Amino acid sequence: MAKLRLILPEVDAVAATVGGLVDKPAICEPSRFTVKRNDPLFVATYIDDNDILRYIGLFDINVAAYSACGLMLMPKGKADEAIKAGQLDEVLHEAFHEIANVCAALFNLPRAPHVRLHKVYSRPPKIPGKVLVKVRDARARRQCGINIEGYGKGKIAWLVV
């Protein structure tokens, strides 16, 4: 049996996936993603078929709001309001959950374990400490900035845990 590999998605695949979901061109490039203690943050956890946590996705408020509005065909102004408020309303949170869910496909490559979205956490209110420890102790990470045409720029980080 071939050994399973945990592989981080290439930035072009991230751009194609997010851009495809919102039906807008997206450009993704390597970029540092730093988060301050109280910054709004969205954390998606991805587990394998044995319910083992394999990957984490970190999304800033910009990416969450712009991609959710794009998916829902809502105007940029709605995303800008969410960014200013520092949180997504229920409709946008649900739409972003779908974005994070489809992003699981970025990890499902040959010889990699099949994964699925487990949960999306957001701050506010709070991300569990055990998840934050996994973020801190990640074995590998790929950080990128993404620009969704007609919406704006944000940051994403993918982590192998």
Q: What is the mean pLDDT of residues 131-144?
A: 94
Superfamily of domain 11-160: CheC-like (3.40.1550.10)
Q: Give the other-Cβ count within 10 Å of 115's Cβ.
A: 21
Read off the pLDDT band of 1 (50, 70, 90). Answer: very low
Read off the pLDDT band of 160 (50, 70, 90). Answer: very high
Contact between 33 and 155 (Cβ < 8 Å): yes
Read off the pLDDT band of 2 (50, 70, 90). Answer: low
Tell me the whole-structure pTM to 2 decimals: 0.94
pLDDT tens readout for residues 63-73: 999 999 999 99
Q: How high is the pLDDT of residue 108?
A: 94
Q: Domain boundaries in the chain? A: 11-160
pLDDT tens readout for residues 81-124: 999 999 999 999 999 999 999 999 999 998 889 999 999 999 98
Read off the pLDDT band of 38 (50, 70, 90). Answer: confident
d(CA 36, CA 51): 30
Read off the pLDDT band of 4 (50, 70, 90). Answer: low
Query: Mean pLDDT score of the chain, rounded to an integer?
Result: 95
Read off the pLDDT band of 152 (50, 70, 90). Answer: very high
